[in-house]
């Protein structure tokens, strides 16, 4: 996925983690680095990292187990969220068509950028 721009740094970090979950870099049950470790890795303010983690928790991507750490959660498909996203995509496709983006260009983009994890989890 392309790095989104003009976002707050906490949003960027949250998106990065979500992307890494989709591409399988993080698996369900994996322990994420602590806020301090992640702040070091990303050279970010710890408050910013904590905010990204709160966002990820609210989005059901991670869960905090007190005293143990932060773990990647098995996030079940969320029907309401999907509805919103489909609506946004429909609107986007109409605008894209008007702007002259072709079906073929979208296919190429999807092939190179969108690779959700295989559904087969043991």
Partner 1 sequence: MTVTLTNLTKRIGRKEVVTDISFTWRPGEITGLVGRNGAGKTTLFRTMMLQYIPDSGTIQINDQTVTPNTNFTQSIFFVDSQDNFFGNSPLAEIASWFTLVYPQFSLDSFWQEIDHFKIPRESRWSGLSKGMQATILMALALASNVPYIILDEPFSGLDVIAREQVTQMIIDAAAEHHTAFLISSHDLEELDGISDRVLILKDHHILHDYMLEELREEAKKIQVVFRHNEVPAAIKKEGTLIRVTGQVLEIVFLHYDETIETALQDAQPVFMEDLPLTLTDIFRTTAVHDTDYLLGKEVYEK
Binding site for partner 1 (CB under 8 A): 3, 5-11, 35-36, 39-40, 42-48, 51
Q: Classify residue 114 by burial, with Cβ atoms within 10 Å: 0-12, 13-18, 19+.
A: exposed
Q: What is the 3-state secondary structure (H, E, C) of 56-98?
A: HHHCCCEEEECCCEEEECCCCCCHHHHHHHHHHHHHHHHHHHH
Q: Which is nearer to partner 1, 64 or 117 (CB)?
A: 64
Q: Which is nearer to partner 1, 100 or 122 (CB)?
A: 100
Q: Which is nearer to partner 1, 79 or 99 (CB)?
A: 99
Q: Which is nearer to partner 1, 45 or 90 (CB)?
A: 45
Smallest distance, partner 1 to C-beta of residue 41, A: 10
Smallest distance, partner 1 to C-beta of residue 6, A: 5
Smallest distance, partner 1 to C-beta of residue 7, A: 7
Q: How far apart are CA 90 and CA 58, in angstroms?
A: 25
Smallest distance, partner 1 to C-beta of residue 15, A: 13
Q: How far apart are CA 120 and CA 110, in angstroms?
A: 21
């Amino acid at each position: 996925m392309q790095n989104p721009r003009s976002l707050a740094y906490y949003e960027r970090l949250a998106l990065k983690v979500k992307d890494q979950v989709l591409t399988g870099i993080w698996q369900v049950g994996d322990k994420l680095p602590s806020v301090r470790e992640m702040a070091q890795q990303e050279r970010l303010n710890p408050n910013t990292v904590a905010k990204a983690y709160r966002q990820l928790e609210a989005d059901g991507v991670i869960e905090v187990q007190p005293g143990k750490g932060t773990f990647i959660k098995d996030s079940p498909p969320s029907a309401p969220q999907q509805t919103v996203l489909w609506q946004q995509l429909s609107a986007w496709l109409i605008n894209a068509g008007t702007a002259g983006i072709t079906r073929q260009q979208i296919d190429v983009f999807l092939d190179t950028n969108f690779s959700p994890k295989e559904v087969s989890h043991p």
